[in-house]
Amino acid sequence: MTPDIIPPGPLVALDYVGIAVFAVSGALVAAEKRQTLVTFIFFAVVTGVGGGTLRDLLIGAPVFWVNHNMTLLVCLSAALLVWLFTKARAAEKALLWFDAVGLAAYAVYGANKALRYGVAPVPAFAMGVLTACVGGIIRDVLAGEPSILMRPELYVTAAALAAGLFVGMAIFGMPVLLAALIAGLAGFALRGAAIAKGLSLPSYQG
């Protein structure tokens, strides 16, 4: 294991996409709740870095945003953009879609980083799922909203699809960039279908 100040390899873009869109989704929750600019920034940061922070703590990596200024400045910029340019009416719908992009990007990036740190396949898959979902969970819990986990449409499932496809393809030797692209698009497509069509798994009837 080596320090990981600047994430190497071709997936850096996915990481910044994940951070930026989760940061935007955090700021959008603050907008829905008509909070102040400072709370916008707080929500943007917590949502933007929450998932990746948990991932790094779990796999024993240095926490990715601690040794440079850039990550937090991205979150801060996201919060400012939402503050300046969003209309509240648009916020609720936009939130779901930004969250969907973040979910797919983080599921793939998280699983890949775990594999690079030598994590076993099942936990690496779980790392993708957990860390993709944690940003949104923290955001909802802090805002006092019912967690996105409990809503009827597919959510964790989309993260599981992206992380599972990626780990499977990586184990069978597919080039990382191609595997990331396929897995990320598949996860985003499934979550998008869930948002657009209310797609859901059968629920427990006990």
Residues interacting with a second copy, by CB under 8 A?
A: 30-31, 33-42, 45-46, 53, 57-60, 62-63, 65-69, 71-73, 83, 86-89, 91, 114, 118-123, 126-127, 129-130, 133, 137, 141-144, 146-147, 149-150, 154, 156-157, 160, 200-206
- Nearest approach, Cβ of residue 147 and a second copy (Å): 6
Select 2 or 203, whichever has its Cβ closest to a second copy: 203
Select 36 or 177, whichever has its Cβ closest to a second copy: 36
- Nearest approach, Cβ of residue 21 and a second copy (Å): 19
Enumerate residues 6+ apart whose C-beta is below 8 A from 154. Answer: 190, 191, 193, 194, 199, 200, 201
Select 36 or 93, whichever has its Cβ closest to a second copy: 36
**Secondary structure element (H or E) that encloses residue 90, with its range:** helix 88-116
**Secondary structure element (H or E) that encloses residue 46, with its range:** helix 37-59
Sign, CA torsion 106/107/110/115: negative
Rounded CA separation 166/107 (Å): 9
Select 96 or 138, whichever has its Cβ closest to a second copy: 138
- Nearest approach, Cβ of residue 8 and a second copy (Å): 19
Rounded CA separation 16/33 (Å): 26
Select 175 or 200, whichever has its Cβ closest to a second copy: 200
Select 66 or 177, whichever has its Cβ closest to a second copy: 66
- Nearest approach, Cβ of residue 178 and a second copy (Å): 25
User: Are the C-beta atoms of residues 135 and 50 closer than 8 Å to each other?
Assistant: yes
- Nearest approach, Cβ of residue 25 and a second copy (Å): 15
- Nearest approach, Cβ of residue 179 and a second copy (Å): 20
Q: How far is CA 130 from CA 60, 62, 78, 182, in A?
A: 16, 18, 23, 20
Enumerate residues 6+ apart whose C-beta is below 8 A from 196. Answer: none
Rounded CA separation 95/126 (Å): 24
